[in-house]
Amino acid sequence: MTAETNSEVPLDTGGTARRERLAWLSAYAVVTILSFPHPLDSAGAEVLDLGRWLCWLSPALLVLGIRGLAPRRAFRWAFFAAWAAHVVILHWLWVVVVVYGHAHPLVGVLGPLGNGGWTALFTAAFAAIWVRLERSGRASPWAAAAVWVALDHLRSWLFSGWTWATLGYAQHENALLMPLVAWTGVYGLSFITVLGGVALAKLVPLRRSTTVCHRTAVCRSGKLQATPWVALALAHLVGFGIVVGQADDEEGIETVRVAVIQGNIEQGVKWSPDWYERTLGHYEDLSRKAAALGARVIVWPETAVPGSLGIDPRRTERLSDLARETGAQLVIGAVGIEEGGHNQGLRYFDSAFLFRPDGEMTDRYDKTHLVPFGEYVPVVRLLGSLLGAIAPGIAEEGLTAGEAPRVVVLAPLDTAPLPVGVPICYELLFPDLVRRFARDGSEMFFAITNDAWYGRTGAPFQFLAMTAMRSAENRLWTVRAANTGVSAIIDARGRVRERTRIFERDLLVADIPRRPAPLGGSFYARYGDVFAAVCGLATVALWLATRERKNQKTGRRPEVT
């Protein structure tokens, strides 16, 4: 072992250092949990949502907790801290899998443990890369933010993608920063949060007894030269957000009166034949009330009709009669069914059906991004029978994905047809998917979902925050229809104007501004994750630079061929 190598061994690896590290990382886990919304009562009337204040501390505490560790140890410490945090955030998966999926409780444990562990892997990867950057002398708040965003973006598409609890969503109520996502997507908020958080961590003095010795780059990285520049950058970003927000004036814009119907049908009885008439009756009665309030468009949630449309003409005719009676255009969530599949010659879709005021069904949008193991089974020949045995309620009938996200057009309203995007449930987790609706001409979003699966947990409110982010990214209003809530009206800046409580029968009626391009849409809607891609390239460059430095220190030279 050389003198240089020996100098990088921590001077104090005893109990004091471990206790301090455990304290930092325990605080990181608690702060991360509290950075996302959680209801304070069973109806969700009051919600604990501290993200815009607390989320800055999450990356700060993480960096402090791994400071001075070797990359492998940093990976392990960060993994278990992040795993603990995300298991708590994702505890609602137990409700999905056990209560409504009818799985064995041991299987139910795998939901939060597995998804929490998957999410924690990316936090752990950040930790390993960060400490390597520290040792190479290239650690800065800017580098940390770029690496974090690159890993966030990777998580959004790897193995079909999983974006729940992306750090940027914690800023969904930060009105000063939200306008930035029209340029960067949610990843811009993750970048700013990590940038500020790591700058805060730099203000905490290093304890030589708990870090590597003074000859290493870690000690040198404790300098504070970057902090004033970070503060200046954040001040400019806040100023930019204020200017952009004030410039978005909607006065004089044509509006459409839209109603959201929240039928509040418990998941446990939703598909019971005994509840079919009662369910449709609730939705029909609320739709008549909405029409009496002047609604021109009435939106029902995902699979609001407890059955399929496309085979039995009586079901379709009943909805046509309702459209004629109310004189409104209907957007109805139901199961679409077609011939041509492998299951008794039929294919099933999670769909939204459009009905004109004259009763004609004019179009159907099919959900394109399905829930793995919930709506379809990956590698079905290997896993289908196994899943059916241990969790029969989760994927009894595999669904077929729609071809691609596409805009649907409602019949002319006063002056012109209304093009809209109708993202269905899980699709709202994916910013690149939703932006395609705006890119292709959508003037507003009708987001339909069935959040009854989540029970009375924090999931409906965390999902609402993601939906609000989609509005802000694309500068379009969103009408959100959820079976048991939270249904909401969200403006083009991502602000929730009105919302329902959970597990209450209700309706919302609002005048929604039409936002055709260039008023609607955004840089992000047109070009997608350019910012995240730049962060990815920066991360690769940083990694290559640290490898080159390591080769130089060990005396290795690249081979010449």
Give 150-180 pLDDT, tens digit per residue: 999 999 999 989 999 999 999 999 998 999 9
Q: Are residues 184 and 292 in the same domain?
A: no
Per-residue confidence (pLDDT) for residue 345, from 0 to 100: 74
- Measured distance CA(271)–CA(419) in Å, rounded: 31
Is residue 392 in some structural domain? Answer: no
Is 259 found in the same domain as 237? no
Same domain, 14 and 118: yes
Total domain count, the chain: 2
- pLDDT of 545 reads 85
The yes-or-no answer on residue 367 being catalytic is yes
- Can you spell out the DSSP letters for 368-404? -SPPBTTTB-TTHHHHHHHHHHH-TTT-SSPPPPPSS
Per-residue pLDDT band for 138 (boundaries 50, 70, 90) equals confident
Task: For residue 225, name the pLDDT band (cuts at 50, 70, 90).
Answer: low
pTM for the predicted model, two decimal places: 0.90
Confidence at residue 55, expressed as pLDDT on a 0 to 100 scale: 97
Q: Which of 60-64, 367-371, 377-381 has the lowest mean pLDDT?
A: 377-381
Instruction: Judge if 235 and 334 occupy the same domain.
Output: no
CA atoms of 205 and 427, how far apart (whole Å): 44
The tokens 């400019």 sit on which residue? 236
Q: Is residue 277 part of a domain?
A: yes
**311 and 211 in one domain?**
no
Minimum mean pLDDT among 218-227, 289-298, 318-327: which range? 218-227
Q: How far apart are CA 328 and CA 408, in angstroms?
A: 16
Query: Where residue 287 falls among pLDDT bands split at 50, 70, 90?
Result: very high
pLDDT tens per residue, range 341-372 = 665 678 899 999 999 999 999 999 999 999 88
Average pLDDT taken over every residue of the chain: 87
Q: Are 216 and 261 found together in one domain?
A: no
Does residue 300 share a domain with residue 217? no
Residue 384 domain-assigned (yes or no): no
Q: Out of 19-23, 445-449, 479-483, which region has the weakest mean confidence (pLDDT)?
A: 19-23
E strands within 329-462?
329-343, 346-355, 361-366, 408-413, 416-420, 445-449
Please check whether residues 188 and 296 belong to one and the same domain. Answer: no
Q: What is the pLDDT of residue 539?
A: 97
- Is the residue at 11 inside a domain? yes
134, 173, 284, 302: the active-site residue: 302
Question: Could you tell me if 215 and 244 lie in one domain?
Answer: yes
Catalytic residue among 134, 425, 427, 535: 425
Q: What is the pLDDT of residue 248?
A: 67
Indicate whether 458 belongs to any domain: yes
pLDDT-derived band at 516, boundaries 50, 70, 90: confident
Kindly name the residue from 367, 375, 427, 443 that is annotated as catalytic: 367
Tell me the residue range of the domain where 282 lies: 255-368+403-518
Question: Quick check: 233 pLDDT over 60?
Answer: yes
- Average confidence (pLDDT) over 225-239: 68
Q: Within this chain, do residues 157 and 304 fall inside the same structural domain, yes or no?
A: no
**Catalytic annotation on 55?**
no
Asked if residue 320 is part of any domain, the answer here is yes
Question: Is there a single domain that holds both residue 162 and residue 303?
Answer: no
Instruction: Return the CATH number at 483.
Output: 3.60.110.10
Residue 20 maps to a domain: yes
Within a domain: 394: no
User: Do 71 and 212 have their domain in common?
Assistant: yes
Specify the pLDDT at position 310: 75
Reported confidence tier of residue 521, pLDDT bands at 50, 70, 90: confident
| Between 483 and 383, residue with greater pLDDT | 483
